[in-house]
Amino acid sequence: MRVLGVDPGLTRCGLGVVEGRRGGTLRMVAVDVVRTAPEVPLEQRLLAVSQRIEAWIAEHGPDAVAVERIFARSDVSTIMGTVQASGLALVAAARAGVEVGTHTPSEVKAAVCGNGRADKAQVTAMVTRILALDSPPRPADAADALAVGIAQIWRGGGQRRLDAAAGTGRPVGAGWDDAVAAQAPARQRAAERWAEAERRARQSTRRSR
Amino acid sequence: MRVLGVDPGLTRCGLGVVEGRRGGTLRMVAVDVVRTAPEVPLEQRLLAVSQRIEAWIAEHGPDAVAVERIFARSDVSTIMGTVQASGLALVAAARAGVEVGTHTPSEVKAAVCGNGRADKAQVTAMVTRILALDSPPRPADAADALAVGIAQIWRGGGQRRLDAAAGTGRPVGAGWDDAVAAQAPARQRAAERWAEAERRARQSTRRSR
């Protein structure tokens, strides 16, 4: 399957197309960051982001559009553009009749790093490894969009395990490590990191009870 | 000029078309509320709101789209849909090449009631009076959308006075009472309420210095 991952934003909106299937290798099809200047009127910035997402859907014909879900508790004014851009991505997908998936940042981190609290550098490193890229994706901001795309492909079967790693503490099922191990040897370390992070997540879940 | 006012929302999105000019009478062209059910997937709800706004722009050919600006300090999850719907309205306007205006709730209240802290009943009463409606606009939720449209037409010349009434304390200029007085006699009370509210706003501005 082919997924367009969107890391929504107004100043920078990451777009990444990933192709593959759960248990198989994944490859990067395209990656970019849409930038709009703060001095441009808001409606023109939103239109630019919207049109670029629509163009990518038309060009790459994804089976699904995956959008990072916003779960901020901060003052809404600081993430207004991000929330609006996420809405535009969802509408663009719905308009094109493409399936939609949303994933919180910790779900995405748990999917690619095995740890819902992984930092940005870890996410970039794992995206590079999972997609067997020669170097980290450029522009750097776009790694998150690729990570969202990977999460969309991987989360189907690994849902409960991923939720556990993300810290929601639901029971952990089988199948996930198998899927990761089926990746090319260069990406074997993903499974090791995953298992380690999962142990840590389990411990912290136990402690918080 | 003709203005499409939008009171953004996902469960209820108010749309109101107002026509007229500053200093002249205003009339209501159309009013409605787009409703989407919470059990429908988010992207479909956003699409429904987006398509209805686009249809209204195409049908009514407004010179401007006025959108209530969101200035909430609350947890973003509670107003996520509102923020996304406002983005869709802005994009719909930009896509159609129509001018955009945004007004905060207190700016809208100051425009139609002369008091940036007017309550919902006051806004509805004033919208009914300003547009010379036989009864309050139906559905009731749509009064806010009409108020935003009225604000777009009126705020041009009355900006400083309106800002003063909204509590920003800038110097108050002339022209506003004249404009309101030029409305039909049935709406004369608007000017009276305005003047009274303005006096109160001035006093509270002075007190807060």
B163 appears as a binding residue in the annotation: no
Above 80 in pLDDT, residue A167? no
Q: Please tell me the distance from the alpha carbon of residue A117 to that of residue A165, in angstroms, as a whole number.
A: 9
Higher pLDDT, B207 or A104: A104
Report cis status (omega within 30 of 0) of the bond before A139.
yes
Sign of torsion over alpha carbons A104, A107, A111, A113 = positive
Q: What is the largest CA-CA distance in chain B?
A: 51
A7 is catalytic: yes
Please give the structure tokens belonging to residue A158: 């690994």
Best mean pLDDT range from A183-187, B105-109, B140-144, B166-170: B105-109
Boundaries of domain holding B64:
2-207
HSE (side-chain half, CA atoms, 13 Å) at A161 = 25
Task: Spot the catalytic one: A19, A32, A107, A141.
Answer: A141
Q: Do B95 and A71 touch (CB under 8 A)?
A: no
Task: Return the pLDDT at B119.
Answer: 94
- For the domain that residue B33 is a member of, what is the CATH number? 3.30.420.10
Q: Do B87 and A41 touch (CB under 8 A)?
A: no
pLDDT digits (tens, 9 = 90+) for A110-162: 999 999 999 999 999 999 999 999 999 988 889 999 999 999 999 863 444 44
What pLDDT band is residue B166 in, cutting at 50, 70 and 90?
A: low
Mutation target for B interface from A57, A65, A74, A84: give the one with most B CBs within 10 A: A84
User: Read out DSSP for A59-117?
Assistant: HH--SEEEEEPP---S-GGGTHHHHHHHHHHHHHHHHTT-EEEEE-HHHHHHHHHS-TT
Best mean pLDDT range from A132-141, A151-160, B54-63, B132-141: B54-63
Q: How many other β-carbons are positioned within 10 Å of the β-carbon of residue B128?
A: 18
Range with the poorest average pLDDT among A27-31, A89-93, B73-77? B73-77
What is the arithmetic mean of pLDDT over B70-91? 83
Task: Return the pLDDT at B138.
Answer: 86
Considering only CB atoms, A46 lies closest to which of B70, B80, B90, namely B90
Q: How many domains does chain A divide into? A: 1
Q: Please tell me the distance from the alpha carbon of residue A179 to that of residue A23, in angstroms, as a whole number.
A: 4
SS3 A29: strand
pLDDT digits (tens, 9 = 90+) for A86-121: 999 999 999 999 999 999 999 999 999 999 999 999
Above 60 in pLDDT, residue A183? no
Q: Please tell me the distance from the alpha carbon of residue B101 to that of residue A135, in angstroms, as a whole number.
A: 45
